[in-house]
């Protein structure tokens, strides 16, 4: 399944800045950054549950915001990109 994860973590305190870094790292473990606080992820249902559990273990629910959008397949018909598109299609061979 494809999901888009967006977050807004309060960075007014050192703890908040730490949470922001940890959320970004966790999102990188499951997908790719498409904007500063937006990640596209392709996960299995089991990975999805683990991913959400980890994110909820990081954020402070009274200060931070986390939004997850499930994208119906085929993903290509659901997403429109304009301007610079830095995403990588992991379905195709990667050329280095």
Give the span between the Cα atoms of 64 and 61, in whole angstroms: 6
Whole-prediction pTM value?
A: 0.78
| No. of helices (H) and no. of strands (E), the chain | 2, 4
Q: Are residues 70 and 2 in contact, defined by beta-carbon separation less than 8 angstroms?
A: yes
pLDDT of residue 77: 72
pLDDT, tens only, 16-33 = 999 999 999 999 999 999
Stronger pLDDT, 96 or 10, i.e. the higher one: 10
Q: Are residues 44 and 1 in contact, defined by beta-carbon separation less than 8 angstroms?
A: yes
The structure tokens listed for 58 are 């990081």
* pLDDT tier at 41, thresholds 50, 70, 90: very high
Task: Please give the domain boundaries of the chain with CATH numbers for all domains.
Answer: 2-74 (3.30.70.240)
pLDDT of residue 19: 96
On the CB side of 58, how many CA atoms lie within 13 Å of its CA? 24
pLDDT, tens only, 49-92 = 999 999 999 999 999 999 999 987 776 777 766 776 666 666 66
Asked whether the predicted pLDDT for residue 95 surpasses 60, the reply is no
Sign of CA dihedral 70, 36, 42, 59: negative
């Amino acid at each position: 399944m494809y999901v888009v994860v967006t977050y807004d973590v309060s960075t007014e305190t050192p703890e908040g800045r730490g949470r922001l870094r940890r959320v970004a790292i966790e999102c990188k473990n499951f997908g790719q950054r498409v904007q500063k606080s937006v990640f596209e992820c392709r996960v299995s249902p089991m990975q999805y549950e683990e991913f959400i559990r980890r994110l909820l273990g990081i954020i402070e629910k009274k200060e931070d915001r986390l939004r997850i959008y499930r994208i119906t397949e085929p993903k290509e018909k659901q997403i429109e990109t304009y301007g610079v598109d830095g995403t990588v299609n992991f379905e195709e061979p990667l050329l280095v």
